[in-house]
With several copies, the nearest count.
Chain A
Amino acid sequence: MHFAFDPDQEAFASATAELFDDLASPTALRDAWDAVPGALDRSVWRSLSAMGVLDACAPESVGGLGLDELSLVLVLEEAGRVGLPHPLVETASVAAPLLRSPLDGRMITSDLGGRSAPCAADADLFLIAQGDVLHLVDRTTVTVEEAPSLDGGRRLGDVGWNGGVSTVLAEGPEALEIARLRGALGTAAELLGLGRAALDLAVVHAVDRQQFGVAIGSFQAVKHALADVAKDLHFARPLVHRAAHSLATGDEDRVLHVAAAKARASRAAERAARAALQCHGAIGYTVEHDLHLFLKRIWTITPAWGSPATHRRRIARSLGL
């Protein structure tokens, strides 16, 4: 029994976090909001590619590192923490393990996790399910129509494919199911990071903001609300880490474990969002403050790759309820 990451896995995540410190600031995220569709800045994406993050889970035969979910899950938490405006889950979690040819830093998106695909206007490749078959197709063979997006840092598009040239990445219900589980796990990890980002902003605000002559963080109402957020995130994390382990090892309960991870990480992040906004008061209730960047991501990826209700239903079934 050893429930901890190995030093390589931790180092991989730290290196990504350092990269994000440099290149994935809130300012960069705001730039993504303002970017013309198709002109999303890719500097951080290129660095992730250079570091080997994007195809970390791709087979070594196509130039990947051949790593598993345990190596990626901490990286995705970091991506959540900065609200990375790129389809990292779709590219690195879902598509990479299935790649048949080198990724070469390209951006892959997919509507496998919902009705629309994030960053569809910018992606190079599209992962598309038809029946039980997963196709990887070029953007020249698809149509992309802008879809309504609450989160300007993760703009959605509806993808149409006429069935032209494709590479088949996987076939059969089980392969599709595993792809979906990887998407759910990646999203759960991002939600942990996003929740932590909201909490961190709230803590900074509660320490800085003075009312009634004291920092508002000295009021029990604020303290207790944020302590509860810390608690929820603290106990959501091991669920996500265990789900990564179960996917990496092919555990027979992986569906159950991913469901628990996604349902609980969503709940923890949603609560973090609520509490963080309330602690910020009107100061946080404006697009001029960074908080909203994280809240809107939380609200929009919570239903992605299986809503919490969907995952709860799976658990209920498995518990015989």
Chain B
Amino acid sequence: MSSMDLAWSDSEQRFRHDVREWLHEALPRWRAMVGDEPKSGDTREGFAQHLVWERMLHDARYAAVSWPARFGGRDASLWEWLIFEDEYYAAGGPPRITQNGIFLLAPTLFEFGSDEQQAGVLRRMAAAEDLWCQGWSEPGAGSDLAAIRSRARRVDGGWRLDGQKTWTTRGAFCTHLFGLFRSDEESERHRGLSYLMVPLDLPGITVRGFGRLDGDEGFAEVFFDDAFVSDEAIPGGVVLGTPGEGWSVAMATTGSERGLTLRSPGRFRATMVRLLDLARSRDRPDLADRLVEAWISTEAYELSTLETVTGIVGGAAVGAESSLNKLWWSELDVELHLIARELLEGEFEGDDAWSKGWQFALSGPIYAGTNEIQRNIAAERLLGLPRR
């Protein structure tokens, strides 16, 4: 019932201050530990370097600030989470190699996991002891996720897995996979799928890393060849939610991936700031309007997030607008890097941050549901246009 207030509270400002101070101290310390220019977290060497960082985050209880303290978090509010992200990206914190676990599996665990599952998985996840990758896409199931064919057959004391997952981010370096498997052989499409959590070191599981667009080994294919996963492989059981109901369980994660949590405004704000610095160092009045529009879009994303969080704090649910979010940040990220390319002209080459960033930005309109799928969702669910 309060009126509009766009200021941060004293305690939020203290939190921001603490985060900033810590990052200011910890980032150089990490860089000094792993060598001054850490490699990309999507290479084997870089992954190990980033693991050091993840453990530093965990030690300082910054690995997952919004989680309960018993799982390694700080019971931080959503506002504080936003503040953390802002500061993290503003300080130039590296991409989180634990991201898929923390931002995709964890929210689902909080909603569907038993106490035992939560206790067994989350703490180790926050500590970067278990490293989780996502096993959704398959060679024949990309945009059409419901076409999943990997199978999980119920056997005595566990499941037997067959099939293939692909485009699994950092799969070659992770220890565990969460994914969707067809547990009812007769089923089709969205029915008869189960959401499983699987250690990757089991007999019958082969992981092959392969290069993303920028050549880093950030993708993997995961082959299941009659692999047996015991019920006890995960404390509380390997199935998350009800067997056969995996689709609805997974959709909670989709909401997270497409919506608020994966893409806090901080990342784009930080890119925007770097871009403005770059622009001020060049004489390019021809790009002024595009820079201004991109700046407005960055502001809009930030403000829209504040609006959404206000709603969530007040008890509202996030609906299909998350599709608009996905469209917005992915298009914004491409545009920011396109402008950078125009500014850099011939200097845009090789392994620099803008070049890597450009190639990564291009994945935005593809992953987490292509933008074509998102436009369908927005048109059908928000506007009520007919499916067919």
Interface residues of A, Cβ cutoff 8 Å to B: 1-7, 9, 70, 114-116, 147-150, 156, 199, 203, 206-207, 210-212, 214-224, 226-228, 230-231, 234-236, 238-239, 241-242, 245, 260, 263-264, 267, 274, 277-278, 281-283, 285-288, 292, 295, 299-300, 303-304, 307, 309-310, 312-313, 315-316, 319-321
Query: Closest residue to B147 on the A side, CB-wise?
Result: A211
Contact with B349, one of A149, A210, A307, A320 (Cβ below 8 angstroms): A149
Binary contact readout B271-301 vs A (1 if CB under 8 angstroms, 0 otherwise): 0000010011000111011011101110111
Assuming the contacts A148-B349, A263-B296, A278-B365, asked whether A299 and B341 have C-beta atoms less than 8 A apart, the reply is yes
Assuming the contacts A1-B5, A4-B4, asked whether A315 and B142 have C-beta atoms less than 8 A apart, the reply is no
- Taken together as a complex, chains A and B put the C-alpha atoms of A319 and B288 apart, in Å, by 10
- Taken together as a complex, chains A and B put the C-alpha atoms of A142 and B285 apart, in Å, by 38
- Taken together as a complex, chains A and B put the C-alpha atoms of A34 and B169 apart, in Å, by 25
| A-B contact sample (12 more), CB < 8 A, given A3-B306, A150-B350, A287-B215 | A1-B5, A211-B147, A217-B379, A218-B387, A223-B376, A234-B304, A234-B321, A238-B300, A263-B292, A278-B371, A287-B210, A315-B295
Contacts of B376 in A (CB 8 A): 220, 223-224, 227
Query: Closest residue to B279 on the A side, CB-wise?
Result: A321
User: 10 tightest A-B contacts by CB?
Assistant: A148-B350, A223-B379, A238-B303, A287-B211, A211-B144, A217-B385, A227-B378, A227-B375, A235-B300, A3-B306
Within 8 Å of chain A (Cβ to Cβ): is B187?
A: no
Highest count of chain B CB atoms <10 Å: which of A114, A222, A231, A295: A231
Cβ B307 vs Cβ A238 within 8 A: yes
Contacts of B311 in A (CB 8 A): 4
Interface residues of B, Cβ cutoff 8 Å to A: 1-9, 12, 79, 137, 140, 142-144, 147, 166-167, 210-213, 215, 219, 276, 279-280, 284-286, 288-289, 291-293, 295-297, 299-301, 303-304, 306-307, 309-311, 314, 321, 323-324, 327-328, 341-342, 345-352, 355, 358, 362-363, 365-367, 370-372, 374-376, 378-380, 382-388
A112 CB, nearest partner CB in chain B, Å:
12
A84 CB, nearest partner CB in chain B, Å:
19
- Taken together as a complex, chains A and B put the C-alpha atoms of A50 and B139 apart, in Å, by 44
A-B contact count (CB 8 A): 245
- Taken together as a complex, chains A and B put the C-alpha atoms of A286 and B297 apart, in Å, by 29
B16 CB, nearest partner CB in chain A, Å:
12
Cβ A115 vs Cβ B347 within 8 A: yes
Contacts of B147 in A (CB 8 A): 211-212
Cβ B304 vs Cβ A277 within 8 A: no
Query: Closest residue to B289 on the A side, CB-wise?
Result: A312
Contact with A316, one of B291, B328, B385 (Cβ below 8 angstroms): B291
Contacts of A286 in B (CB 8 A): 210-213, 219
B132 CB, nearest partner CB in chain A, Å:
19
Cβ B137 vs Cβ A3 within 8 A: no
B51 CB, nearest partner CB in chain A, Å:
24
A278 CB, nearest partner CB in chain B, Å:
6
Q: List 14 A-B contacts (CB under 8 A).
A: A148-B349, A150-B355, A199-B383, A207-B385, A217-B386, A218-B387, A281-B370, A287-B215, A299-B358, A303-B345, A303-B348, A307-B342, A315-B292, A319-B291
- Taken together as a complex, chains A and B put the C-alpha atoms of A312 and B288 apart, in Å, by 9
Cβ A227 vs Cβ B379 within 8 A: yes
Cβ A228 vs Cβ B375 within 8 A: yes
- Taken together as a complex, chains A and B put the C-alpha atoms of A227 and B376 apart, in Å, by 8
Query: Closest residue to B363 on the A side, CB-wise?
Result: A285
A135 CB, nearest partner CB in chain B, Å:
22
Cβ B366 vs Cβ A304 within 8 A: no
Cβ B295 vs Cβ A226 within 8 A: no
Assuming the contacts A150-B349, A218-B386, A235-B328, asked whether A3 and B303 have C-beta atoms less than 8 A apart, the reply is yes
Contacts of A222 in B (CB 8 A): 372, 379, 385
Query: Closest residue to A304 on the B side, CB-wise?
Result: B346
Contact with B306, one of A9, A238, A277, A278 (Cβ below 8 angstroms): A238
Contact with B307, one of A3, A263, A300 (Cβ below 8 angstroms): A3
Assuming the contacts A235-B301, A319-B276, asked whether A307 and B346 have C-beta atoms less than 8 A apart, the reply is yes
Cβ A3 vs Cβ B300 within 8 A: no
Cβ A207 vs Cβ B384 within 8 A: yes
Cβ A239 vs Cβ B3 within 8 A: no
Cβ A283 vs Cβ B4 within 8 A: no
Cβ B351 vs Cβ A148 within 8 A: yes
Contact with A282, one of B279, B366, B385 (Cβ below 8 angstroms): B366
- Taken together as a complex, chains A and B put the C-alpha atoms of A1 and B308 apart, in Å, by 12
B273 CB, nearest partner CB in chain A, Å:
10
Contacts of A277 in B (CB 8 A): 213, 362, 366
A12 CB, nearest partner CB in chain B, Å:
13
A224 CB, nearest partner CB in chain B, Å:
4
Contact with B142, one of A207, A231, A281 (Cβ below 8 angstroms): A281
A89 CB, nearest partner CB in chain B, Å:
15
Assuming the contacts A234-B321, A287-B213, A321-B280, asked whether A6 and B1 have C-beta atoms less than 8 A apart, the reply is yes
Cβ A319 vs Cβ B292 within 8 A: yes
